[in-house]
Amino acid sequence: MSGYDFDLFVIGAGSGGVRASRMCAGHGARVAVAEERYLGGTCVNVGCIPKKLFVYAAHFSEDFEDAAGYGWSVGEPAFDWQALLANKDREIERLNGIYARLLDGAGVKRIEGRARLVDEHRVDVGGQVYSAENVLLAAGGWPHFPDIPGIEHAISSNEAFHLDRLPERAIIVGGGYIAVEFAGIFHGLGVRTTQLYRGSLFLRGFDDDVRETLADEMRKRGIDLRFEARVERIERGPDGLVAILADGEALEADRILYATGRRPLTADLGLEEVGVELDASGAVVVDEYSRSSVPHIWAIGDVTDRIQLTPVAIHEGMALAETLFGGRPTRPDHIDVASAVFSQPPIGSVGLTEAQARERYGEVEIYRSRFRPLKHTLTGRDEQTLMKLIVERGGGRVVGAHMVGPDAGEIIQGIAIAVKMGATKEQFDRTIGIHPTAAEEFVTMREPVS
């Protein structure tokens, strides 16, 4: 046994830090984890979980409208924001408790407070110094605001989860995951919602058909979605906040939410002093085993800015446990990571976009299907689902699968297994569909588009 207090000291009890702590303790390591804010990190407290609960809440407004086509009359629906907040908070408190019990049950020592490196093997938390053979940085990320006049009037997604009142009018700035998700949430809850994106088409990095389809669907629902819209400054006006755009237009709102990316939380952890290398965005530079530039200091999750997703942080944590205490050095695998955007309708995506596949393979075959979901034949709702497969010409391997439509995340999760296994289009074709589902379309697309 080493002469240190712990074999591993973890900074940050979010998705990655908690999983790494538990797995390392499972291998017999003596582990401590320090957390200054909340157990479970962004995902549990101000991210994935409350966001998905809000998405469910927002969807009811459509469901009530759609019910009429099936013979239901539901009267005039009313929404109570405070009730949603209270129920959401209760659930998060329950999850915080589960995280505490999981750590305690695994024998991990929990330490409350802000941790700071003293040197390579020592960490200070509130004046108490602990020594450890290895230190794991898993402090996560934080919303990043551009530096424009009046930005102090804007909120981030962190605050959106705790607003005392639901705004009547909201402006959302950004065109990534969080911006489109909150546009759908606010709009569904009855807020007049404007989304502003600085480029020509939002969701950069996603397949172009997906981006265009979601833009159409959001506009059909009544979201005021504007591209090439840059906010120059924000002012407080007599009737709320005013966003002044580069073209001079002034847009009023009660709340302005910025979702313009998240940056690694690496400031004031003592990293520079100890010699841990950071990149230009402040992310910890790691090798393929998650080792920082200092040999016994490791980093996983958003603090490394590889892929900012909870399941990726968890995967990195498990790989690290194998490397450090499992006797099996393991590199995390960042290839073909599926993800979903819980927009309305949602997006599911795995593998390459059409543009990426063309760049990598030259010629590719594209299979695409657009249809109105069966459910909406009776509701009359004008909603299109998009499904798309990208197939490498030579071997016929499916290298990308993308969807916009109900349950896209649920469906793409299954497809992702096939893509990860290297399944060919022929194997997709040999798979018999489940009828009637939307998902069966993924195994019945026969003719490539030209």
Residues that bind ligand NDP (CB under 6 A): 146, 173-179, 181, 197-199, 202, 204, 259-262, 308-309, 339-342
Residue 9 in contact with residue 34, Cβ under 8 Å? yes
Tokens 């990190």: give the residue.
41
Radius of gyration of the chain (CA): 24
Shortest distance in whole angstroms from residue 352 CB to ligand NDP: 17
Structure tokens at 28: 């017999």
Give dist(CA 161, CA 155) in Å, integer. Answer: 10
Distance CA 333, CA 417 (A): 14
- For ligand NDP, the nearest residue by Cβ is 176
Q: How far is the CB of 303 from ligand NDP (least distance, A)?
A: 13
Given the complex with ligand NDP, which of 167 and 346 has the nearer CB atom? 346
CB of 304 to ligand NDP, least distance (A): 13
- Distance, in Å, from the CA atom of 196 to the CA atom of 186, rounded to the nearest integer, reads 14
Q: Shortest gap between Cβ of 300 and ligand NDP (angstroms)?
A: 15
DSSP single-letter state for residue 261: -
Q: Name the 3-class secondary structure at 178.
A: helix
Nearer to ligand NDP, 213 or 349 (CB): 349
**Closer CB to ligand NDP, residue 107 or residue 261?**
261
User: What is the rounded end-to-end Cα distance, in angstroms, of the chain?
Assistant: 65
- Closer residue to ligand NDP, CB minimum distance, 42 or 134: 42
Query: Quick count: other Cβ atoms within 10 Å of Cβ 147?
Result: 5
- Residue 268 token pair: 């004031």
Specify burial of residue 244 (Cβ count, 10 A radius: 0-12, 13-18, 19+). middle
Catalytic residue positions?
435
Nearer to ligand NDP, 134 or 344 (CB): 344
> Could you tell me the smallest distance in angstroms from the CB atom of residue 12 to ligand NDP?
16
* Beta-sheet strands, E only, within 329-424: 339-341, 347-351, 364-371, 385-392, 398-404
* Alpha-carbon gap, residue 338 to 356, rounded angstroms: 15
Task: Report the nearest approach of ligand NDP to the CB of residue 179 (Å).
Answer: 5
Based on CB atoms, which residue is closest to ligand NDP, 52 or 376? 52
The SS3 assignment for 322 reads helix
Name residues whose C-beta falls within 8 Å of residue 423's C-beta, 6 or more positions apart in sequence.
397, 398
Q: Which CB, 123 or 347, lies closer to ligand NDP?
A: 347
Are the C-beta atoms of residues 385 and 370 closer than 8 Å to each other?
A: yes
What is d(CA 388, CA 216) in angstroms, rounded to the nearest whole number? 17
CB of 195 to ligand NDP, least distance (A): 10
Contact 172, 257 (CB under 8 A): yes
In angstroms, what is the minimal distance from the CB of 409 to ligand NDP?
8
Using CA atoms, how far apart are residues 440 and 432, in angstroms rounded to an integer? 8
SS3 303: helix
| β pairing state of 398-404 and 262-264 | unpaired
Is the backbone peptide bond immediately before 143 cis, with ω within 30 degrees of 0? no
CA atoms within 13 A on the CB side of 89: 9
Least separation in angstroms between residue 66's CB and ligand NDP is 24
Nearer Cβ to ligand NDP (211/221): 211
> CB within 8 A of 63, min separation 6: which ones?
none
CB nearer ligand NDP, residue 224 or residue 365: 224
Phi, psi of 370 (to 5 degrees): -125, 135
